[in-house]
Amino acid sequence: MRSDSIEGEENEDPVYGDWGPSTYNDGEGIIIKLEYFLYDNNKDKRRKNVKAPCINKSLSIHEDFGLSELIVTLVESVGRLEILGHSHLYHTAQGQENADEGEILSLSFSIYSTSDKNLDLASITDYDQMMKLVMKRKKPQLVIMARELHAIDNLDENDNTGTHTDREDNEEQEEQPARKKKKKEYELSSEETEQDEIIIQLKDAKNLEGLRD
């Protein structure tokens, strides 16, 4: 078993592993220039003409990759793997046709040195067409634009509101001072009660002295 394992590792492509060597760009695969636009939580607070933060990456994919492998490669390169759990396109590419997630990632592509520019990449059909077009090139290269459409978690936009439990705790804390004030209005404290008793005792003693006189 050990010799088979070693032999299998030796046969793996150093770039694409079990996918085997790519036949394009000297084994590098289909070259991609990625423009990844992060969702900007503060966009409403800025001028409308301010662009969202953008990450530029140079990477490549194997010509046998499917749409799901492409999406993983794109988001992994910018450290946004958490996007996958919120992408209807990714789940559809994985065969989960009934996935009801909304789409968080908008994709479009251009084929380098051609008139094919800014074409939508929103389905498996779009992906197949993209690969068909780009692989006609002697040195296939793509420009892919990815744009996050909304925050990953809607709670991120309301960090200051807290959870339901937090709000209940805050309400209880806010009510406590009001309860204390009401208590002071109608009930004497222990110190005030002692002071009143001393005053009464002094008055009684003074009255007794007056009677003796």
Q: In terms of residue numbers, what domain contains 167? A: 162-212
CB of 131 closer than 8 Å to CB of 109: no
pLDDT exceeds 70 at position 50:
no
**How far, in Å, CA of 83 to CA of 68, rounded?**
12
Q: How many domains does the chain have?
A: 2
Structure confidence by residue, pLDDT tens digits, 19-46:
999 999 999 999 999 999 999 877 555 5
Do both 46 and 101 map to the same domain? yes
Which residues share a beta bridge with 146?
A: 36, 107
**pLDDT digit string (tens) for 112-170?**
999 999 999 999 999 999 999 999 999 999 999 999 998 876 434 443 333 333 434 44
Q: Do residues 67 and 139 lie in contact, with contact meaning Cβ atoms separated by under 8 Å?
A: no
Share of the chain above pLDDT 70, in %: 60
Q: What's the pLDDT tens digit per position in 162-212?
A: 333 343 444 444 444 444 444 444 455 666 666 667 666 666 666 655 555
In a domain? residue 205: yes
pLDDT of the residue at 187? 56
22 and 134 Cβ atoms separated by less than 8 Å: no
In a shared domain, residues 30 and 109:
yes
Question: 56 and 144 share a domain?
Answer: yes
77-92 burial, b for 16+ CB within 10 Å, e for fewer?
A: bbebeebbebbbbbbb
What is the model's pTM? 0.65
- Mean pLDDT of all residues belonging to the chain: 77
Say if CB 116 and CB 93 are below 8 A apart: no
Residue 4 lies in a domain: no
**Domain check: are 172 and 119 in the same one?**
no
Angle between the N-to-C axes of helices 67-77 and 124-134, in degrees from 0 to 180, rounded to the nearest 10: 80
H/E segment holding residue 108: strand 105-111
